[in-house]
Chain A
Amino acid sequence: MRNADDIKRIFDEAVVETNPSKDEKILENITAAYKQTNKAQFEKIEPNVWRIIMKSRITKIAAAAVIVIAVLAGLPLLDSKQGVVLADVLAKIEQAQAFMYKMKMITTGDMMPSMPAGERLVESTVTISNSYGMKMEMTMTDANSGEKMTQQMYIIPEDEVAIMLMPSQKKYMRMEFDDDLLARMKKQNNGPREMIKQIMGCEHIELGCSVIDSIEVEGFQTTDPSFVGGAIENVDIRLWVDVENWLPVRAEMDFKMNEQMQMSCVIYDYQWDVQVDASEFEPVIPEDYTGFPTGGIMKLPSISEEAAIEGLKFLGEISGKYPKKLNFMDLMQEFEASPDREDKIENLTDAALKLQEEMEKMTEDEKIKKAMETMRLVQSISMFYMTLVQDKKDPAYYGESVGPDDADMVLLRWKVSDNQYRVIFGDLSAEDVTAEELTELETPLRE
Chain B
Amino acid sequence: MIEDRLLMLKFRKGSVETLARIYEKYKNDLLKLAVILSNDAGAAEDIVQDVFLNFARLAPNIKQAKNLKGYLTVAVVNQVRNHIRDCKRKNTTSLDDSDEVVSKLQRPEQWVILSEQLKLLSRAMAGIPYEQREVITLYMQGHTTFRQIAKIQNTSISTVQGRYRYGIEKLRKLLNHEVEK
Interface residues of A (CB under 8 A from B): 1-4, 6-8, 10-11, 13-19, 22-23, 26-27, 29-31, 33-39, 41-45, 342, 345-346, 348, 350, 353-354, 357
Chain A contacts for B56, CB-based, 8 A: 30-31, 33-34, 37
> Which chain B residues border A8 with CB–CB below 8 Å?
140
- Shortest Cβ gap from A6 to chain B (Å): 8
Contact between chains at B113 and A19 (CB < 8 Å): yes
| A18 adjacent to B31 (CB under 8 Å) | yes
Query: B1 interface residue, CB < 8 Å from A?
Result: no
Contact across chains for A16 and B59 when beta carbons are under 8 A apart: no
User: Please, could you name 16 A-B residue pairs with CB atoms under 8 Å apart, sorted by A?
Assistant: A7-B136, A7-B168, A7-B175, A10-B117, A14-B32, A16-B115, A16-B118, A18-B27, A18-B113, A22-B110, A30-B53, A33-B57, A34-B16, A37-B56, A42-B60, A354-B6
In the bound assembly, the distance between CA atoms of A168 and B160 in angstroms comes to 64
Chain A residues whose C-beta falls within 8 Å of the C-beta of B114 in the assembled complex: 16
How near does chain A come to B122, taking the closest CB pair, in angstroms? 8
Binding site for A on B (CB under 8 A): 6, 9-10, 12-17, 19-20, 23, 27-28, 31-32, 35-36, 49, 52-53, 55-57, 59-61, 109-115, 117-118, 120-122, 136, 140-141, 168, 171-172, 175-176, 179
- Closest residue of chain A to B27 (Cβ to Cβ) is A18
- B15, B23, B136: the one contacting A30 at CB < 8 Å is B23
Q: Please report the C-alpha to C-alpha distance between residue A42 and residue B136 in the assembled complex, in whole angstroms.
A: 37
How far apart are A322's CB and chain B's nearest CB, in angstroms?
22
Rounded to whole Å, the gap between the CB of A182 and the closest CB of chain B is 39
B55 CB, nearest partner CB in chain A, Å: 8
Q: Which of A26, A30, A36, A37 has the most CB of B within 10 A?
A: A30
The chain B residue with its CB closest to the CB of A2 is B172
Q: Lowest 8 CB-CB distances: which A-B pairs, in order?
A: A14-B118, A41-B60, A34-B56, A42-B14, A14-B117, A11-B140, A22-B111, A33-B56
Residues of A within 8 A of B23 (CB): 27, 30
Chain A residues closer than 8 Å to B172, beta-carbon distance: 1-3, 6-7
Q: How far is the CA of A42 from the CA of B111 in the complex (A)?
A: 31
Q: Give B20 Cβ to nearest chain A Cβ, in Å.
A: 6
**Pairwise interchain contact B141-A11, C-beta atoms closer than 8 A:** yes
Nearest CB in chain B: distance from A170 CB, A: 38
